[in-house]
A and B are shown apart, each in its own frame.
Chain A
Amino acid sequence: MLSLIKSLWLVFLHLFRKRFTIQYPEEKAYLAPRYRGRIILSRDPDGGERCVACYLCAAACPVECIALDATEDENGRRYPDFFRINFSRCIYCGYCEEACPTYAIQLVPDFEMAEYNRQNMVYEKEDLLIDGEGKYHGYNYYKVAGIAIGGKDKGEGENESSPIDPKDLMP
């Protein structure tokens, strides 16, 4: 009986507490840096596309919302001819980001992407590509990859020793 009166009083005191409500359009909630929101495609420090069109993101995607087609430029550098994400299917699981070997595809803290027309939820490559490096700075896949490409020969990459001649017997 006394506990009931006590709980009445304690609940009454809650009238004067601080509100937990965040009044959304005026106040924004804090989004952590690693929040999984809108998907972007980043560029390397030199301004080239990081994406090498390996299809791993499309394979990892559980709802199959990523579509792309690979192609090569004159240097033999792979890049996606088109890259399309249907955000009305995307579940923001972040598997594409985990699968990506080049840090190209990233999820950023932004969820305000409502549209009146469902077709507008399909983002093309030019909508996805940003000018910066996103969350991972200073990484340039082709600089550290051991393949000859665009004037860079084998052994000329960063932290890369020159190739071994397998026919040479010298230590």
Chain B
Amino acid sequence: MNPTLQTLAVTLGILFTLLHVAAVLIWVERRLLALLQDRLGPNRAGPLGLFIIVADVIKIFTKEDWIPPFADRPLYVIAPAIILLTALVGFTIVPVGPGMVVLDLNIGILFFLAFSSLGIYSTVLAGWASNSKYALIGGLRMAAQMFSYEVFMGLSLMGVVILAGSLNLSEIVEAQRGMWFVLPQFLGFVIFLLAGLAETHRLPFDLPEAESELVAGFHTEYSSMKFGIFFVGEYIGLTLIAAMIVTLFFGGWLGPAWIPAPLVFCFKTFAFILFFILMRAAIPRPRFDQMLSWGWKYLLPLALINLIATGALVLIRAD
């Protein structure tokens, strides 16, 4: 196949899948949360209640798109776009199969880290531009959360990088042919999982949103599709973190030979998305100071110890 054509096909395929996954996740999350709470969830509209997605999309598109007169207009409008854009761009380096990657960067992990941290501008700008107290507190919390969790998010990945000897994600996946990195890098995996959750501000780390204390946090003033884009961006961010966990720790697209590699990848990613929803159902939101002190006092030192220990072991082995 023509390489340009293949890249185009992969790009469009990933984009198509992602945008639909974000929509389907609305239904998945509501159904699964309901099941975990001994309820049934939306099961009326269409088979298994799947048409609720259509209803939700129609609803969110036809709502009044209201910009508060006290808002900082340009920033207010641009904020939701940033989260979607950074999440989608972050996905370009994720290999869904052998050779099936939009950008085969040799600094893949750095690229991912850079774009996932650029996503913070979305929430912080939204909180600032809304010019309302709840939104501002939400934005500030997001900034603090991001600063503290981003530090060891990168550090927790360095163990994987040492083991694989590369920052290229395709090569990292190939390096896991013998053994998935979750075994030698279990600590790194747990830390990355927590940091990733904090990064996507999903429950239980949804302190910037915290509907029970901050109304809706940074997107309090947003309505209609602007709010919808925050939602989609959050779901794509969630998928991105799940995909990164799978790629870095669970062997990416490696699996039984008789299943197509992209399917293996999708299956593993979906399993992690379901796990995130389970976490949302099971774990309460920590207090803000608890969350920050956890990050700085425990997770950061642990990530450093993990990094040093991995490095030392690799050096000893090399002798």
Contact = CB atoms under 8 A, between A and B. Distances in A.
Contact size range, A: 10 to 19
B40 interface: yes
User: Taking chain B's interface residues, is the majority helix, strand, or loop, or is none over half, making it mixed?
Assistant: helix
B162 interface: no
A8 B38 contact: no
Contact of B38 (A7, A14, A23): A14
Interface stretch (B150-158, B218-226, B233-241, B277-285): B277-285
B125 to A, nearest CB: 33
Nearest to B283: A4
B283 A7 contact: yes
Contacts of B278: 8, 11-12
B36 A14 contact: yes
Nearest to B40: A21
A20 B38 contact: yes
Interface in A10-32: 10-12, 14-15, 17-21, 23
Interface in B15-62: 35-40
Contacts of A8: 278-279, 282-283
B281 A11 contact: yes
Contacts of A14: 35-38
B239 to A, nearest CB: 21
A18 B38 CA distance: 7
Contact of B36 (A4, A15, A21, A23): A15
A15 B41 CA distance: 12
B35 A15 contact: yes
Contacts of A7: 282-283
A64 to B, nearest CB: 38
Contacts of A12: 36, 278, 282
A19 to B, nearest CB: 5
B36 A11 contact: yes
Interface string B277-313: 0110111000000000000000000000000000000
6 contacts: A14-B35, A14-B36, A17-B38, A19-B39, A20-B39, A21-B39
